[in-house]
Copies of this chain bind each other. A is one copy, B any other.
Amino acid sequence: MTTLDIKRIDWASLDGQGRFDALARPSRRSERDVQDVVSGIFEQVALSGGLAVTQFAERIDGFKPRRIAITPEAVAAARDALPPADTRALRVAAENVRVFHQATKPEDTAFVETTPGVKSKLVWRPIGAAGIYVPGGTAPLFSSLLMQAIPAEVAGVTTRVVVTPPAKDGSVHPAMILAAAEANLDAIWLIGGAQAIAALTYGAVLDDGEIPACDKLFGPGNAYVAEAKRYAAALPNGPSVDMPAGPSELLVIADRFCDPEIAAADLLSQAEHDADAQVILVCERAATIDAILAEVEEQLTTLPRADIARASLSEARAILVSDMAEACAVSNLYGPEHLAIQAEDAEALVASIRAAGAVFVGRWAAETLGDYAAGPSHVLPTDGGARTLGGITTASFMTSMSVQTVTEAGAERLGPIAARLARLEGLEAHARAADLRSVA
């Protein structure tokens, strides 16, 4: 067995540039190749629609796009194919996601009267059509269906189009059917990759029916999917997108009172995602780092996905800091997708965290619980996006607008002020539109 060689960093020894470098995400595969493939797909689909989508799907997924109707029969068959405990677990997860999103749905504000007779508020509306990508890859990630389609439903989105790659044999995993049923979807489409994103962007008439053009695209995916979302968002009149999606990330802040076995298990759960997954440990004591890394090594030996985890850990970093305040500062600089705080005063430290997708507080809060069943969506910003972007919430599937109402008396009061400012900006027609309402 090769020994792990996780990079250790003494934060105090670094200058500004060194600290910046220590937290840099590694650069990834040749982006130019990916861009060329994606733009080729989009150009073809823009030109010949569903025909091109079908051809790319056959070539890349191995199958033409299939619409899977979520009928009672399909659901019964899927249920029969799984242990009853799996079906029950899926239901609990779906319910928790639903409850959390119902409770945190944004509400219209009250009217705010800034001048007597001038009242404004912010109101929320669901977006029109949401395109939702659910990654396949080595396993069917039905949890990503729950974590997107249920918040969209709670938001009130009427058109939810879910796409996901077919399995190697062209089939769909029964858990995906059950997840779709829990999310009250009529159907899901078996199609993956950039061709799926192109179909959601332009709309596509396919053998099994029509994929409508969507107003906003959601979901994680591989480098092609990520680039396709970027491409779509840059199109004139193109859809908007939820967030850029890169490899998954976990930063663990641990103090001397942490349980090294638990910290190690969390780091490994992140590392097994894929070889690009980012794992960072920030700790106030060298001996604790030693203990956690020894546990990582130990637990790694029996992991089925040890090779993937090992590849990911080759880019991992263990950072020694002087105290927990500095640990939080390091985490804020990095802006992790997931942050676990395994420290005696974990709850108090949350106040110091400014940039993270999701924060797991204390030893019992495994990221795994949040990944599947605690309630908040697990679709979160990567690549430091957490510095300015939150994860998916019901608000992601809605838009806000201001509504401004003015009475005659309000116009009389505020009109002259607005007109004066308009003239100061040289905008006479603006001023006159105000004058008309306020000058008797």
Which residues of A pack against B, CB within 8 Å?
24-25, 27, 82, 85-86, 88-90, 92-93, 95-96, 99-100, 103-104, 106, 109-110, 112, 114-115, 118, 120-123, 125-128, 138-143, 175, 215-216, 230, 234, 236-237, 239-240, 261-262, 265-266, 268-269, 271-273, 299, 303-305, 309, 347, 350, 353-377, 383-391, 393, 399-408, 410-411, 414-422, 424-434, 436-437
Chain B residues near A269 (CB, 8 Å)?
427, 429-430, 432-433
Q: How far is the CB of A149 from chain B (nearest CB, A)?
A: 16
A428 near B303 with CB under 8 A, answer yes
B143 near A89 with CB under 8 A, answer no
A369 near B125 with CB under 8 A, answer no
Chain B residues near A85 (CB, 8 Å)?
420
Q: How far is the CB of A395 from chain B (nearest CB, A)?
A: 8
Q: Which of A110, A127, A428 has the most CB of B within 10 A?
A: A428
The chain B residue with its CB closest to the CB of A350 is B403
**Contact residue among B240, B266, B406, B436 (Cβ-Cβ distance under 8 Å from A385):** B240
**Contact residue among B121, B416, B421 (Cβ-Cβ distance under 8 Å from A93):** B421
**Contact residue among B89, B401, B420 (Cβ-Cβ distance under 8 Å from A358):** B401
Chain B residues near A265 (CB, 8 Å)?
429, 432-433, 436
**Contact residue among B261, B303, B418 (Cβ-Cβ distance under 8 Å from A372):** B418
Q: How far is the CB of A198 from chain B (nearest CB, A)?
A: 18
Chain B residues near A215 (CB, 8 Å)?
387-388
Q: How many copies does the complex hold?
A: 2
**Contact residue among B271, B365, B434, B437 (Cβ-Cβ distance under 8 Å from A405):** B365
A96 near B115 with CB under 8 A, answer yes
Given contacts A143-B421, A368-B418, 15 further A-B contacts (CB under 8 A): A86-B420, A89-B424, A93-B418, A99-B114, A269-B432, A305-B427, A355-B401, A361-B405, A366-B433, A368-B431, A369-B406, A370-B402, A373-B414, A373-B417, A373-B418
Chain B residues near A261 (CB, 8 Å)?
436
Chain B residues near A374 (CB, 8 Å)?
114-115, 118, 120, 404, 406, 414
**CA A375 to CA B118, docked complex, whole Å:** 9
B104 near A112 with CB under 8 A, answer yes
Q: How far is the CB of A28 from chain B (nearest CB, A)?
A: 9
Q: Given that A237-B383, A237-B384 are contacting pairs, would A372 and B417 also be in contact in the complex, using a CB cutoff of 8 Å?
A: yes
Chain B residues near A123 (CB, 8 Å)?
350
**Chain A binding surface SS class:** mixed
Identify 29 residue pairs between A and B in the complex whose beta-carbon atoms are under 8 Å apart, listed by A's number. Answer: A25-B237, A86-B420, A92-B414, A93-B417, A93-B418, A96-B118, A115-B373, A118-B374, A118-B375, A127-B388, A141-B425, A215-B388, A234-B234, A236-B383, A237-B383, A240-B389, A269-B432, A271-B429, A347-B405, A360-B404, A364-B406, A364-B410, A369-B411, A369-B418, A371-B430, A373-B417, A389-B399, A391-B401, A391-B402
A114 near B375 with CB under 8 A, answer yes
B390 near A399 with CB under 8 A, answer yes
A309 near B429 with CB under 8 A, answer yes
Chain B residues near A138 (CB, 8 Å)?
426
**CA A240 to CA B385, docked complex, whole Å:** 8
Q: How far is the CB of A20 from chain B (nearest CB, A)?
A: 10
A400 near B404 with CB under 8 A, answer no
B421 near A373 with CB under 8 A, answer yes
A419 near B368 with CB under 8 A, answer yes
B100 near A369 with CB under 8 A, answer no
